[in-house]
Structure 1
Amino acid sequence: MKELEDILLTTSQIPLAKKTVLNISYTSNIIRDSISNILKPFDISIEQFNVLRILRGQKGKPTNLQDIQGRMVSKMSNTTRLVDKLILKGYVERFICEENRRKVEIFITPKGLEFLTEIDPKVEATETDITSPLSQEELKTLNSLLTKLRD
């Protein structure tokens, strides 16, 4: 990865659009690795963590696999498999709706909420550390620019 960083910093022959996309991708990988390293001792993936945060945001209301999938950061995730793993850990429960047997409702458990309470400060500290070279104004600008790229 150091080679890519050197190329990005020293090569002026790369078109600016390509350099920007490579730089965003490279930075994304660094951020992903940092967050993964925090979650690894807890035997949970970034995608599973994302599912738990989505379910916590439901504030006790049920949700379904499609809604979770739609809110996932990584749309390529196998949501069914992620939920199954979280059920095995006791962080999530799945119920079949009585009125409509095809409808599956998913809830976060008290154990899942407790886990998030434990892990959130560690993830937040890592996020703060990652973004610490930037001022608050630079963070606002960066967020605005990244949002603009997605719109």
Structure 2
Amino acid sequence: MLPFRSHATLPSHSQPVAMVGELRAQIRQPGPFRSLEAEAYLNVLRTSTALLAELVELLRPHELTQPQYNVLRILRGAGEQGLPSGEIGERMVSREPDMTRLLDRMEARGFVSRQRGPADRRVVTARITDEGRRVVDALDVPVQEMHARQLGHLSEEELRTLVALLERARREPQQRGSRPVGDG
């Protein structure tokens, strides 16, 4: 278990931490968070939701979901050889529980093509089509502009620190063998 850290010295991990932050006001939480870790966790979720909402709106006119956009970017990067569907799933930013169904919808729209492997018929390789490439290429500039709007107010040093901290937060629980929990 991680050592308990807070702004106040507390004798027990279960006692509330006296902190005042923007998140408490935004979610109208009357009392303090139970821990600094809980406050950080909820801030990450709140920030992720806010950032993702703008992407969802940007993708809406193209009738794309965030997972579909992610697949198009992955397949564009894979080149002409494409990728097996299992590997696409491993590269996704957010876990997609039914990659086959996602690829079915994308193939029906002409964004991807799929082919079974000659040596192992269980392996299905997906490739981006010309139409899929056209759509994802057209989104490059608007998505980059969105990133600049969302995070451009942070300095390069702050962005590097943010990236390093988020990567560390994801990496270290896995290295300790613990499993992340889903509630805050």
C-alpha separation in 2, matches of 1:104 and 1:129: 38
Aligned residue among 136, 147, 151 for 1:127: 147
Q: Against the structure 1 CA distance between its residues 18 and 7, is the aligned structure 2 distance closer, same or farther, given a 3 Å change threshold?
A: farther
Larger Rg: 2
Cα separation, 1, equivalents of 2:47 and 2:144: 18
* Corresponding residue of 1:96: 116
Match of 1:69 among 74, 82, 89: 89
- Which of the pair is proportionally richer in helix? 1
Q: Tell me the equivalent position of 1:147.
A: 167
Q: In structure 1, what residue type is equivalent to 2:32?
A: Q
* TM-score, normalised with respect to structure 1: 0.89
Question: Superposed, which structure 2 residues align to 1:12-27 within 5 Å?
Answer: 13-14=32-33, 15-27=35-47
Unaligned runs of 5+ in 1: none
Q: What value does the CA root-mean-square deviation take over the aligned residues?
A: 2.1
Identify which range, 120-129 or 41-50, moves more after superposition: 120-129
Partner of 2:58: 38
1:61 Cα deviation from its structure 2 partner: 1.0
Secondary structure, aligned partner of 1:60: helix
Q: Percent identity?
A: 32
TM-aligned CA deviation for residue 100 of structure 1: 2.7
Structure 2 gaps, min length 5? 1-21, 172-184
TM-score scaled by length of structure 2: 0.74
The one of the two structures with greater contact order (alpha-carbon pairs below 8 A, sep at least 6) is 1
Residue aligned with 1:105, SS: strand
- Give the CA deviation at 1:133: 2.2
Hey, what's the Cα distance between the residues in 2 that align with 1:102 and 1:9? 51
